[in-house]
Chains A and B, each alone.
Chain A
Amino acid sequence: MKVVLENLTKIFPSRNKKSNEEVIAVNNFNFEIPDGKLIGLLGPSGCGKSTTLYMLSGLQKPTSGKIYFGDDDVTELATEKRGIGLVFQNYALYPHMTVKQNILFPLQNLKGEEKMSKEEMLERAYYAAKLVQIDELMDRKPNELSGGQQQRVAIARALVKMPRILLLDEPLSNLDARLRLQTREEIRRIQKETGITTVFVTHDQEEAMSISDLIVVMKLGVVQQIGKPQEVYDNPVNLFVAKFLGTPPINVFDGKIKGGKVYIGEDAVMEVKDAADQDVIIGIRPEGFNLDENGPFHCKLENVEVMGRDVSVVSTNAASLNPVIRSIINSDNKVNTESETVRYSIKPHKMFVFNKETEERIYFEVK
């Protein structure tokens, strides 16, 4: 089931009677979610990602705009008629019911033609439970389960009705680091196995990048960029996206373009074509540095952190907007730790230049 969002907007009226400030949670969101894909809505808190998810679920009504599931306009359709499965951030498992009763609950609500026999329901419930590998725990109560197990039960409960779309609100935020890794693989596997179009919300870019087919980066209700995780990482459209994706984060510098050359501070690091002279902000990914004795970019060496496969070189430069510059270098390259300075050349495809005012990307060709 493909999902289309058309000019979707959600405005919350001001809560405070004195000020009439409304909050635009989601601003004019246009997006077509392809069938059977896993989509990650990504952004810092307050960016409107959860609001978007709840509008998809029907629990919140959009202020304007349309939502289509396939060819059906579901904008005005009640939640229960949309055929969605929703997994809440804290799972919202009914605490007084066993796992089995929790999973059966949505099926028991079905009426009319959809109504199932007891055997059918049990079969479906066990199928869903097997899918998330909790069929051993069916007679337990939620408070007798670990966080990860509760998460699986919540997914099973959402899946048991065979929803057209599965929505997950911060699915991993309540899990510890190890479980998080495991569970995100699990979500990916379940989504692949069922082929259900899945949308999940997260503020953790690593999480979104690692399992999504497409990520949507949002900021203050406005969609910044939509694309495959690698594409968005390699080609951010503005400084916000560049900064938001990637660990360690991108290194940011004050710089300028002058006479066809890109300067960081006083160092001309690259020659470019077709770029007007202006002050700019330059972003360089940690892996975008080459150790180069004759490199154009001079930094003061602070520290070298060994990580095994790679080393992380910490250095400083007056033009840097971050406290330190962090570059990831293959450990085959020996860094001279005695030296006070380190010189780099920059990989052109790892360096992004942004307009200083608008923070939009400036595109150019490298000479």
Chain B
Amino acid sequence: MVDNKQQWKAWLYLSPAIILLLVFTVWPIINTLRMAFLEGYSAQAEVGGATFEFGIGNFLKVIEYKKFLQCMQNTILLCVLTVPISTLLALLIAVALNSIKGLQKILQTIFFLPYVTNSIAIGMVFAAMFNIVGSFHGTENEIIQTAGIINNVIEFFGGERVNWINAGSQYWANITVMVVYIVWNALPFKILVLLGGLQSINAQYYDAAKVDGTSRSRVFARITVPLLSPMLAYVIITGFIGGFKEYTSIVGIFGETMGPPDAPGRLNTMVGFVYEALENKHQGRASAAALILFVIILIVTRLNMRFGKKSVYY
């Protein structure tokens, strides 16, 4: 222990980090709490000299708001769909990558590429793939639409063209596109973590299993997955946290309208709602929504960890 006379030195050395944390992390959190619990708070009005009463009006407004419920539904739906799908896919790809020899390095790089690519850029490419790109007038003034690659593939196999993201598209079609995009975007990090985990498993466990004539599926279920469980838990927990903060991916596909042109805001998420409220200068409402999101993430993470305690081997 440092004696008391020397303690100021310790504080001095810590001060750069502490000051930054206080300014950019601690104060915003406190301020969010303050703004959320002041009725109808608006920063602009406060600067103008207005005072606000303490109360939970912001929360009530947010919850009553139909748009917010839509945002919550979208967020939860995307989370529940994408986290299991991406985790499962990442696990399978990681196991496959781990078991091949020759092209491992190249494939690893390919699978990692999305991670280092801007997600808005990826979103635009995805949008182009699912889009009905444009239309032109054919002979006899009939309107012919050109489709993105996905619809072309569907047509090639004799299917019917689907309106994925354009005006007049269905909610489920929008969600499907979002799930494909988010899963694809989430894969690289998960593959990386799981592959690292796989490579740290002692090969003798597999030799032992081989001697005992263990089938491949049983090796996977009884040895690989349990020994990988810490990594899986990590990937799932961070996946849910990231999923609840989903925002840029929607912007990437649909732009700032957060939905098809004829139904703006249909795919908005909770973070999107917060941004929107801030844009409309309802800082109080935005803070309340942010706190609700925080509580939801806290509860889900606690549940994840409690479930994890039983099934994760460390």
- A: residues with CB less than 8 A from B are 57-59, 79-81, 84-86, 88, 90, 92, 94-97, 105-106, 109-110, 161
Taking chain B's interface residues, is the majority helix, strand, or loop, or is none over half, making it mixed? helix
Residue of B nearest to A161 (CB): B212
Known A-B contacts: A92-B202, A94-B222. Give 14 more (CB < 8 A).
A58-B211, A59-B211, A79-B210, A79-B211, A80-B212, A88-B204, A88-B208, A92-B208, A94-B208, A94-B223, A105-B212, A109-B213, A109-B215, A110-B213
Q: Is residue B214 within 8 Å, beta carbon to beta carbon, of the partner chain?
A: yes
Query: Given A95-B313, A109-B218, do A59 and B205 touch, yes or no (CB 8 Å)?
Result: no
Residue of B nearest to A106 (CB): B212
* Contact (Cβ within 8 A) A81 B213: yes
Which residues of B have CB within 8 Å of A58? 211
How far, in angstroms, from A80 to B218 measured CA to CA in the complex?
A: 14
Select which of A86, A95, A110 is within 8 A of B211 by beta carbon: A86
Q: Is residue B207 within 8 Å, beta carbon to beta carbon, of the partner chain?
A: yes
Most B Cβ at <10 Å: residue of A58, A85, A106: A106
Query: Given A109-B215, A109-B218, do A92 and B210 touch, yes or no (CB 8 Å)?
Result: no
Q: Is residue B62 within 8 Å, beta carbon to beta carbon, of the partner chain?
A: no
A191 CB to closest chain B CB, in angstroms? 18
A150 CB to closest chain B CB, in angstroms? 13
B207 CB to closest chain A CB, in angstroms? 6
Select which of B205, B214, B226, B313 is within 8 A of A109 by beta carbon: B214
Interface CB pairs A-B, < 8 A, 8: A59-B210, A90-B202, A90-B204, A92-B204, A92-B208, A95-B227, A96-B313, A109-B212
Q: How many A-B residue pairs have CB under 8 A?
A: 53
Select which of A84, A92, A96, A106 is within 8 A of B226 by beta carbon: A96
Which residues of B have CB within 8 Å of A86? 207-208, 211
Which residues of A have CB within 8 Å of B223? 94
How far, in angstroms, from A109 to B208 measured CA to CA in the complex?
A: 12
Select which of B202, B211, B229 is within 8 A of A84 by beta carbon: B211
A223 CB to closest chain B CB, in angstroms? 25
List B197-247 residues whose CB lies under 8 Å from chain A.
Answer: 202, 204-205, 207-208, 210-215, 218, 222-223, 226-227, 229
How far, in angstroms, from A86 to B214 measured CA to CA in the complex?
A: 14
How far, in angstroms, from A161 to B213 measured CA to CA in the complex?
A: 11
Most B Cβ at <10 Å: residue of A88, A92, A97, A161: A92
Which residues of A have CB within 8 Å of B218? 109
Which residues of B have CB within 8 Å of A90? 202, 204
Residue of A nearest to B205 (CB): A92
User: Which 10 pairs, one residue from A and one from B, show the smallest C-beta to C-beta distance?
Assistant: A80-B213, A96-B313, A106-B212, A92-B204, A96-B226, A92-B208, A86-B211, A109-B214, A109-B213, A79-B210
* Contact (Cβ within 8 A) B207 A88: yes
How far, in angstroms, from A57 to B204 measured CA to CA in the complex?
A: 13
Which residues of A have CB within 8 Å of B211? 57-59, 79-80, 84-86
Which residues of B have CB within 8 Å of A92? 202, 204-205, 207-208
Which residues of A have CB within 8 Å of B229? 96
Which residues of B have CB within 8 Å of A97? 226
Which residues of A have CB within 8 Å of B222? 94, 105
How far, in angstroms, from A58 to B205 measured CA to CA in the complex?
A: 15
Most A Cβ at <10 Å: residue of B202, B210, B218, B226: B210
Residue of B nearest to A81 (CB): B213
Which residues of A have CB within 8 Å of B226? 94, 96-97
Which residues of B have CB within 8 Å of A94? 205, 208, 222-223, 226
Which residues of A have CB within 8 Å of B202? 90, 92
